[in-house]
Structure 1
């Protein structure tokens, strides 16, 4: 694993309970939304807590199918002052990428992203 990838992945665990003081985003330990935003990010099925991290060297992908807005994870890794210094987020349409040096962490939370987009279009 590259050093930059190690910093990004460590950043995920260090921010597991992070919440923006202005109420714009929150991680909520990956199980709930401390901001109590409207909508449901899981179908309530048994797979709602499924998460998968895979990768090699400097390219990693984190996939999940229940609570957590993709944007919240990207912001927790990049926002000042809590973000990983030097990390930047890129909206790639169907997922987000957080980059740091030579490392890329793809954030793929399809249900969360679809739910968030449907709330925006209402």
Structure 2
């Protein structure tokens, strides 16, 4: 790709994602912005991650602690999401290790956040490279866009270690029967649903350069509009096959999600939206449907 074309894509991408130049340029490619376009492995991983991010362990089936392990608290950290074709990078400038603890279990907190997620390599206080043992998907948490690669870490170039590096299970820790059972409880989904859910994860903090929509990590509005959010009634994402429903009560507004998923630059190709009521939208892709239900969460009963 000519350098001028790549720079142009980089700048458009930055307007949507808020990335710095280095992160945005690393993400463009394959003829487009590269925000929601990813490998099949990465698509499956991100869709699974969406189930853990958009559910809460509230003691009610199917979201009880015994059946689902929520990583919802991960979204409470300020971060820049920098999706690549075969990796999901989250740049967390502060409290990096705390953010990691919301995704992975540790020796001090043995509860499984995202079962099967392992630390493949770590440069404490700089970067943590994660691998999902079930899908093979990769995710990296880093303090800044310039961070040590796995090769650098394994060669000892970061030159620094601490007890943080030993807190989380590595690739040598096989997936446990409990973890496997939790993952098995997540219903199967079509490739279209995977694509929509994966896009929500890739666009966690995306915003429209024209100021029409913004997702704001699902807790704030970076466009500073006068939007009245609902009460904190929880969030739930569940379904089966080609029919899934996302229900929540706070940020973002459902039309923000519609705007993101159908955006001509970073949306999911072929996705179309239907307004069913003031609080309900449908995102249709092929024969699959993701229902967006705002203001009344299934977690409320």
Tell me the TM-score normalised to structure 2 length: 0.34
The number of equivalent residue pairs is 107
Q: Distance in 1 between matches of 2:258 and 2:217?
A: 15
- For residues 217 and 200 of structure 2, the distance between their equivalents in structure 1, rounded to whole angstroms, comes to 10
Partner of 1:100: 285
Give the gaps of 5 or more residues in structure 2. Answer: 1-188, 297-301
2:202 aligns with 14
How far apart are residue 83 of structure 1 and its match?
0.5
8 Å contact kept, 2:207–2:214: yes
Identify the range of structure 1 (83-92 vs 48-57) with the bigger mean alpha-carbon deviation.
48-57
Moved over 6 A (4+): none
Cα contact 1:16–1:29 (8 A) shared by 2 = yes
Runs of 5+ in structure 1 lacking a partner?
A: 112-122
Q: 1:39 to 1:75 in 2, by over 3 A?
A: closer
For residues 16 and 49 of structure 1, what CA distance do their matches in structure 2 show? 20
2:267 is the counterpart of 1:79? no
1:32 aligns with 2:220: yes
The structure having more radius of gyration, on CA atoms, is: 2
Find the counterpart in structure 2 of residue 57 from structure 1.
Answer: 241
Does the CA-based 8 Å contact 1:95-1:110 persist in structure 2?
no
For 1:2, the equivalent position in structure 2 comes to 190
Give the distance between the partners of 2:256 and 2:245, measured in 1 at CA.
16
